[in-house]
Amino acid sequence: MAKVSPPAKVKSISRKIAKVPVESVTVLNTWATEIMESGMNKTLWKRRHFNAIVLSVWATGFYVEIQAKSARSILILGDSISAEYGLQRGQGWVALLVQKLTKEKITAQVVNASISGETTSGGRSRMSALLKQHQPELVVIELGANDALRGLDLAQTQDNLIAMAQAAKSSGAKVLLLGMQMPPNYGLDYAKQFENVYRQTAQKTQVHLIPFFLKGVGDDPDPLKWFQSDRIHPNAAAHPQLLANVWPEIKKMTQ
């Protein structure tokens, strides 16, 4: 991912995205799902209407079950950027995505399985269980930055991304891969190799790719205004731009 730091301060900055205790999975529902669920528990328990109650409860339960199965499920598998590290809850791009889906009246359940500090290896180890549990229609993979920041083998990073993409596709889900980039101080050759990991993964698995998730943030002429004090994690002001970078693809893929 883009890391913003003047050359003289490179050594004073952590070389990995910070890991903090966070919920491993957060389920966020859009407007239609919320309305559907709130309608299940209407006050019906009056004895003089017992027969009507039985019929009504049976019909309502059946309706809700069908609606729940037809609702889209979007699984976000990412690191601290998607886990809202350093932000107040609700300020991150995933929470903003839920708001956008609601505004667009797109019925969907967003499952945020992002963890701060997550690597592609960690994501790969969790993918199978997440797919089985949530049966998503769309899987968004936002991983790889921590691999690079920790100096992990990029060939293994690519192998992990390919395995995750293939697993998601085999389950019947569409896949959106969010590409990241390394800053020039990591070396131009390394930065190019890292960028190619995402391009080659997308080509080999035939999945959708956002070449640079932090476009408009990490490549801004004055990027410091978009990052927290650690110069690694995007601040709250940057997250609407992150959503703008992915929304066109997500909208197309959920229609």
Active site residues: 80, 230, 233
**Sign of the C-alpha dihedral, residues 115, 120, 121, 126?**
positive
Strand partners, 227: 234
- Comparing CA positions, the residue from 203, 186, 93 lying closest to residue 140 is 93
Strands (E), the chain: 26-29, 72-78, 108-112, 138-142, 174-178, 208-210
DSSP β-ladder status, 108-112 and 72-78? parallel
Please give the angle made by the CA atoms of 159, 163 and 165, to the nearest 5 degrees.
115
